[in-house]
């Protein structure tokens, strides 16, 4: 365990995170931001004030005392939305724009793929799919999908 | 849930996420009495009656919108939805606020007088029936029969195409004469000779001249056919190319932002060429083949129906085989296309950035990247070829088997004296040609798929509707005074909300300076005013007319734009200066160059105004290029001038030169200037300070300094000679000193 951090965190009545620095200044509406949300989500999290200024840097979530860690984790969970595609149930057409019915870790959803270029290749084998409303769907390992999903996906890659 | 008796429904929002951000339906309702909500986490409706201090706020982050209901002391509830329902959410918030204020004060706040789109609440313009925002969202896939759509480009050449087709018909008929003549040659000349009868030279000469004649006719006709059709297909290809390019040029900045140069170049270059070859060679061959098969079948049946039936037996099998392979090959070839674009993309990335590559000694890395793209290309091609390579030999095998059947059945029939040797020879001659054609016909599968894939990629461009659409009922402004009004303008790149609720009025002839940290949305605002993008909320008006109702090109003629990175096209300096007004006289060009303080350095170049610049041309310094681009803006004499960090990339002495040039440019025009060095904006009538996409302050330099707010801090930071950008971007890794920031 590391030294306790030199700031204090708590949640106020409006559900916002508050961060109190060493000088006693209170920042309301602090948000945790992951530096590498896809490749290294657990490493490098910044606490940022509403003006986008960095207040504190957390190398690793596990460095934090439990109560702070839980606060940060719940706040992250409230902000982060990157459904992970588990299965592609159907696609309306192989030409874009195409509507996909997918099953994700957050339930089933429809997404509209505007063009093939909205499928971004991350470090293999991960893919990131941006739908027409800008929601990013993650495919962590495209080889791990079932055969039908892989076949659908292959038509767009 | 039951509404009270005289309770009215005002607005509702169907939400699609629950509190833990899982997809689940829910509903929020604003009625005349209260706010009602039920999300997937709730078992029953929750309700809040209107009371003082209640606020409903909307925020969004990473594609998820949040509605938060608060009173003065705490958060009462919050709901999440994906941004597809953001407009409905905005409407809900609006209704809530109005109804709340009505409850508290008894007055209903005025609704804006503008006509709004019922779907998304974008203000509709005079004469506009369809909302430009809604109508541009097309989510229909293009039709699969893409190749047929090429017909649009073939229509102007109907006459030639018909002529070509008739010639094909005649050529094919002529080529079919030869095998037919083998029959009498065999039965009337060769077989009787074997049986001891002498050869009749006259008869032989007749048959042989028939053979020669048919070959010659086929030769002449075939030449004419190929020439006409090659001519036509070349023209269709050229039309396709120019149409696509013209359409591409009309598309908005947004489209180019999302595409890579290499990919677009490949589409317009090689894809159109592929389609061209498809029409001129493959389609033509295929048509001829079909004709040949139909005619051959007719001839065979007329000679001997039974033998014909046996001969044609393998045909359905081959047709089936073709069909099976078709699907697999099509997807394969589409993938090959995309991989090919990937290879060219690496080139398009690296070659313009070659200085960076060399400076960081990353040649090896770039070579490896290219090798990897190529390896991927190979891999995909290998997979396609696996299917493809099996295909042709299988067809050949089937034809051999077909010939075998004909031999066997023919010999059996000769033995039974049902046909002559000549008939069998003719059949074999026909059938080997016939199968030869089937073999080449099978190639049509792959080329059609390739051409269809190419056509689809081209129609992807052609079908793309510009996100900066031309107005349906355009308003023409004869002369523009230069009054610009921004009415609560909001804009997002994708889901990233970049600017929000910006309202400014800029009077004609006024110079307004936009200041703010890098990333605060200054360039975005300028892009919106230039209509490189259209606003997502609110409206921009010029002389009181919404810019969306003016034809795009006509509107931009009124704007002179000087950017941080001036772009010079390949051509002479004079041509570059006259880019916006190619009809300008030499005197005008020189006058513009003089005013831009570019005249003297141009005269120092070896070829003066005729020096070639741009890629492969004379190398010019950043300041020199900038002054040419200022001259370019001066020459079109625009009522509105936009300077986006026009002096940021040059040193202070050059900046002074450019500043002098700009002073000439600014005079008498509505000017919007963005400058990194605040001192350059001293002349501005008004400064508008942006921070994170909002206006935080506005006023003259002195007023803003007196206020000691945002601008004051920015100015102080520069006066202390601290680079604000650097300060902003320094990441404080050490959490210990997080308290002592300004
Ligand atoms: N094409 C784009 N796509 C997505 N985001 C963009 C694009 N252009 C700019 N942005 C973002 O918009 C914000 C404002 O950018 P910009 O207007 O260029 O700032 P400024 O000119 O004030 O430095 C920045 O956060 C930037 O990252
Ligand atoms: Mg900028």
**Residue in the structure block whose two tokens are 């506005």:** B698
Q: Does residue B615 register a pLDDT over 70?
A: no
Candidates B257, B524, B533: which one to mutate for ligand 1, based on the most atoms within 8 Å of Cβ? B524
Both structure tokens of B151:
């017909």
Q: What is the per-residue pLDDT for A92?
A: 85
Burial code (b: 16+ CB inside 10 Å, e: under 16) for B301-322 equals: eebbeebbebbbebbeebeebb
Q: Are strands B640-644 and B559-562 parallel, antiparallel or unpaired?
A: parallel
* Residues 6 or more apart in contact with residue A142 via CB below 8 angstroms: A125, A126, A127, A150, A153
Q: Does residue B216 register a pLDDT over 90?
A: yes
Question: Would B27 be classed as within a structural domain?
Answer: yes
Statement to judge: residues B530 and B670 lie in one domain: yes
Statement to judge: residues B221 and B361 lie in one domain: yes
Give per-residue pLDDT as tens, B689-723. 998 888 999 998 888 889 888 888 888 888 775 44
Among B192, B436, B421, smallest CA distance to B304 is for B421
What percent of chain B shows pLDDT beyond 70? 88
Both structure tokens of B690:
């942006």
Do the chains contact at B335 and A154, CB–CB below 8 Å? yes
Q: What is the DSSP string of B49-77?
A: E--TT-EEEEEEETTEEEEEEE-SSSEEE
Statement to judge: residues B70 and B149 lie in one domain: no
| Alpha carbons A29 and A50: distance in angstroms, whole number | 6
Statement to judge: residues B215 and B88 lie in one domain: no
Domain harbouring B569, CATH code: 3.40.50.300
Statement to judge: residues B70 and B194 lie in one domain: no
What is the Cα B185 distance to its own chain's centre? 63
| Alpha carbons B596 and B614: distance in angstroms, whole number | 19
Statement to judge: residues B271 and B341 lie in one domain: yes
Chains A and B: how many Cβ contacts under 8 Å? 119
B218 vs A124: which has the higher pLDDT:
B218
Question: Would B739 be classed as within a structural domain?
Answer: no
Of A30-39, B7-16, B364-373, B457-466, the poorest mean pLDDT is in B457-466
Give φ, ψ of A56 to 5 degrees: -155, 160
Give per-residue pLDDT as tens, B101-134. 888 887 766 655 455 555 555 555 544 555 555 5
Considering only residues 678 to 697 of chain B, which have any Cβ-Cβ distance to chain A shorter than 8 Å?
A: 691-692
> Which of B14, B17, B23 to substitute to test the interface with A, most A CBs within 10 Å?
B23
Of A3-17, A73-87, B311-325, the poorest mean pLDDT is in B311-325
User: How many Cβ atoms sit within 10 Å of the Cβ of residue B4?
Assistant: 10
Q: From start to end of A105-152, where are the E strands?
A: 107-113, 119-121, 127-130, 136-139
Asked if A11 contacts A28 with a C-beta cutoff of 8 angstroms, the reply is no
Both structure tokens of B621:
């310094």
**Residue A141, H or E segment:** none
Question: Would B325 be classed as within a structural domain?
Answer: yes
Q: What is the per-residue pLDDT for A88?
A: 92
Q: From its phi and psi, is residue A122 left (phi > 0), alpha (psi between -120 and 50) or beta?
A: beta
Q: Does residue B647 register a pLDDT over 70?
A: yes
When the pLDDT of each residue in chain A is averaged and rounded to a whole number, the result is: 84
Q: Complex ipTM, two decimals?
A: 0.85
Statement to judge: residues B550 and B692 lie in one domain: yes
Please give the torsion angle defined by the CA atoms of residues A24, A25, A30 and A33, in that order, rounded to the nearest 10 degrees: -80
B172 vs B146: which has the higher pLDDT:
B172
Of A3-7, A137-141, B603-607, the poorest mean pLDDT is in A3-7
Domain holding B46, by residue range, is: 9-124
Statement to judge: residues B490 and B617 lie in one domain: yes
Give per-residue pLDDT as tens, B458-480. 887 887 777 777 887 888 888 88
Number of domains in chain B: 3
Question: Would B167 be classed as within a structural domain?
Answer: yes
Question: Which residue of chain B has the CA closest to A80?
Answer: B62
Cα separation values, B86 from B117, B270, B344, B366, Å:
15, 41, 39, 43
Helix, strand or coil, per DSSP, at residue A36: coil
> What size, in residues, is chain B?
742
Among A81, A83, A79, A40, smallest CA distance to A61 is for A40
Asked if the C-beta of A93 comes within 8 angstroms of chain B's C-beta atoms, the answer is: yes
Q: From its phi and psi, is residue B488 left (phi > 0), alpha (psi between -120 and 50) or beta?
A: left
Q: What is the per-residue pLDDT for B323?
A: 67
Of B22, B63, B731, the CB nearest to A136: B63
Considering only residues 527 to 546 of chain B, which have any Cβ-Cβ distance to chain A shorter than 8 Å?
A: none
Q: What is the DSSP string of B104-146?
A: HHS-PPPPPSS-B-TTT-PBPPTT--S-HHHHT---PPPPS-G
Is residue B97 very low, low, confident or very high in pLDDT (cuts 50, 70, 90)? confident
**Residue B665, H or E segment:** helix B652-666
Domain harbouring B413, CATH code: 1.20.1560.10
Q: Does residue B739 register a pLDDT over 50?
A: no
**Residue B627, H or E segment:** helix B622-635
Asked if the C-beta of B606 comes within 8 angstroms of chain A's C-beta atoms, the answer is: no
Asked if B647 contacts B680 with a C-beta cutoff of 8 angstroms, the reply is yes
Q: What is the DSSP letter of A3?
A: P
Ligand 1 atom with minimal separation from the B522 CA: 22
Q: What is the per-residue pLDDT for A42?
A: 83
Statement to judge: residues B237 and B333 lie in one domain: yes
Q: Give the global pTM.
A: 0.66
Query: Can the peptide bond before residue B333 be classed as cis, meaning omega within 30 degrees of 0?
Result: no
Domain harbouring B97, CATH code: 2.30.29
Burial of A89 (0-12, 13-18, 19+ CB in 10 A): middle
Statement to judge: residues B100 and B239 lie in one domain: no
Q: What is the per-residue pLDDT for B2?
A: 65
Residue owning the nearest CA to atom 18 of ligand 1 = B523
Q: For residue A104, list chain B residues with Cβ-Cβ distance below 8 A.
A: 23
User: How many Cβ atoms sit within 10 Å of the Cβ of residue B202?
Assistant: 8
> Which of A73, A134, A135, A152 to substitute to test the interface with B, most B CBs within 10 Å?
A134
Candidates B63, B496, B517, B561: which one to mutate for ligand 1, based on the most atoms within 8 Å of Cβ? B496
Cα separation values, A16 from A29, B53, B584, Å:
5, 18, 61
Give per-residue pLDDT as tens, B376-418. 889 888 888 887 787 778 777 877 887 888 889 889 988 998 8
Q: What is the per-residue pLDDT for A86?
A: 92
Q: What is the per-residue pLDDT for B114?
A: 52
N-to-C CA span, chain B: 52
When the pLDDT of each residue in chain B is averaged and rounded to a whole number, the result is: 81
Q: What is the B256 CA–ligand 2 centroid distance (Å)?
A: 18
* Residues 6 or more apart in contact with residue B253 via CB below 8 angstroms: B468, B527, B532, B533
Statement to judge: residues B119 and B261 lie in one domain: no
Statement to judge: residues B208 and B311 lie in one domain: yes
User: How many Cβ atoms sit within 10 Å of the Cβ of residue B97?
Assistant: 16
């Amino acid at each position: 365990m590391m030294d306790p951090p030199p700031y204090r965190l708590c949640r106020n009545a409006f559900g916002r995170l508050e961060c109190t620095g060493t000088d006693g200044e209170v920042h309301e509406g602090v948000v945790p931001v992951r530096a590498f949300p896809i490749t290294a989500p657990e490493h490098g999290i910044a606490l940022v004030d509403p003006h986008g200024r960095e207040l504190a840097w957390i190398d690793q979530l596990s460095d934090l005392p439990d109560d702070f860690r839980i606060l940060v984790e719940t706040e992250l969970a409230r902000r982060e939305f990157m459904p992970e595609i588990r299965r592609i149930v159907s696609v309306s057409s192989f030409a874009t724009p195409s509507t996909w019915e997918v099953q994700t870790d957050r339930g089933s959803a429809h997404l509209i793929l505007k063009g093939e270029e909205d499928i971004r290749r991350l470090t293999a084998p991960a893919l990131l799919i941006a739908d027409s409303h800008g929601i990013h769907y993650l495919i962590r390992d495209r080889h791990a999908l079932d055969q039908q999903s892989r076949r659908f996906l292959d038509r767009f890659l | 849930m039951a509404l009270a008796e005289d309770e009215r429904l005002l607005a509702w929002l169907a939400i699609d996420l629950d509190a833990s951000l899982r997809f689940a339906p829910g509903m929020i309702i604003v009625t005349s009495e209260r706010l009602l909500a039920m999300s997937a986490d709730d078992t029953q409706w929750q309700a809040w009656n209107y009371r003082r201090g209640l606020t409903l706020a909307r925020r969004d982050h990473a594609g998820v919108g949040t509605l938060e209901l608060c009173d003065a002391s705490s958060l009462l509830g919050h709901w999440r939805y994906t941004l597809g329902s953001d407009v409905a959410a905005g409407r809900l918030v609006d209704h809530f606020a109005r109804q709340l204020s009505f409850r508290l004060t008894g007055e209903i706040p005025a609704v804006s007088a503008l006509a709004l789109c019922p779907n998304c609440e974008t203000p509709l313009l005079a004469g506009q029936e369809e909302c430009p925002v809604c109508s541009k969202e097309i989510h229909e896939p293009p039709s699969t029969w893409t190749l047929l759509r090429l017909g649009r480009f073939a229509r102007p050449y109907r006459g030639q195409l018909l002529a070509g087709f008739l010639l094909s018909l005649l050529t094919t008929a002529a080529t079919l004469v030869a095998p037919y003549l083998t029959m009498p040659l065999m039965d009337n000349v060769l077989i009787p000779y074997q049986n001891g009868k002498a050869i009749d030279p006259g008869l032989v000469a007749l048959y042989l001249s028939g053979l020669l004649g048919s070959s010659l006719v086929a030769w002449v006709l075939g030449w004419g056919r190929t020439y006409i059709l090659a001519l036509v297909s070349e023209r269709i290809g050229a039309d396709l190319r120019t149409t696509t390019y013209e359409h591409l040029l009309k598309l908005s900045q947004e489209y180019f932002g999302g595409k890579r140069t290499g990919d677009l170049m490949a589409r317009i270059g090689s894809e159109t060429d592929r389609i061209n070859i498809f029409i001129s060679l493959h389609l033509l061959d295929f048509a001829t083949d079909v004709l040949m098969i139909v005619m051959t079948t007719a001839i065979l049946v007329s000679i001997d129906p039974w033998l014909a039936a046996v001969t044609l037996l393998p045909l359905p099998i081959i047709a089936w085989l073709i069909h099976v392979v078709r699907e697999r090959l099509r997807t394969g070839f589409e993938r090959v296309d995309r991989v090919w674009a990937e290879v060219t993309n690496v080139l398009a990335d690296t070659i313009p950035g070659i200085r960076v590559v060399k400076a960081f000694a990353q040649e090896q890395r770039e070579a490896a990247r290219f090798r990897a793209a190529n390896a991927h290309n190979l891999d995909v091609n290998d997979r396609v070829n696996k299917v493809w390579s099996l295909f042709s030999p299988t067809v050949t095998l089937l034809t051999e088997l077909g010939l075998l059947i004909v031999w066997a059945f023919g010999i059996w029939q000769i033995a039974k004296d049902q046909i002559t040797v000549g008939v069998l020879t003719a059949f074999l001659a026909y059938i080997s040609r016939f199968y030869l054609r089937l073999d080449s016909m099978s190639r049509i599968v792959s080329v059609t798929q390739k051409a269809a894939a190419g056509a689809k990629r081209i129609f992807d461009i052609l079908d793309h509707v510009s996100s900066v659409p031309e107005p349906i009922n355009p308003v023409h402004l004869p002369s523009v005074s230069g009054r610009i009004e921004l009415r609560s303008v909001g804009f997002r790149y994708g889901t990233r909300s970049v600017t929000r609720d910006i309202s400014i009025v800029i009077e004609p002839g006024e110079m307004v300076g936009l200041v703010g940290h890098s990333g605060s949305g200054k360039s975005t605002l300028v892009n919106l005013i230039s209509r490189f993008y259209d606003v997502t909320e609110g409206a921009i008006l010029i002389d009181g007319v919404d810019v969306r109702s003016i034809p795009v090109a006509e509107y931009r003629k009124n704007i002179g734009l000087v950017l941080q990175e001036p772009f010079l096209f390949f051509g002479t300096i004079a041509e570059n200066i006259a880019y916006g007004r190619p009809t300008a006289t030499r005197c005008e060009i020189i006058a513009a160059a003089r005013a831009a303080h570019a005249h003297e350095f141009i005269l120092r170049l070896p070829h003066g105004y005729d020096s070639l610049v741009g890629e492969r041309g004379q190398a010019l310094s950043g300041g020199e290029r900038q002054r040419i681009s200022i001259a370019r803006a001066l020459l079109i004499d625009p009522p509105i001038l936009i300077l986006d960090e026009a002096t940021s990339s040059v040193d202070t002495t050059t900046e002074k030169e450019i500043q002098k040039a700009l002073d000439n440019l600014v005079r008498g025009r509505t000017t919007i200037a963005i400058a990194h060095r605040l001192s350059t904006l001293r002349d501005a009538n008004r400064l508008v300070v942006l921070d994170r996409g909002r206006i935080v302050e506005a006023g003259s330099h002195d007023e803003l300094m007196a206020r000691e707010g945002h601008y004051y801090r920015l100015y102080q930071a520069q006066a202390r000679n601290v680079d604000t950008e650097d300060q902003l971007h320094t990441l404080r890794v050490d959490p210990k000193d997080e308290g002592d920031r300004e």
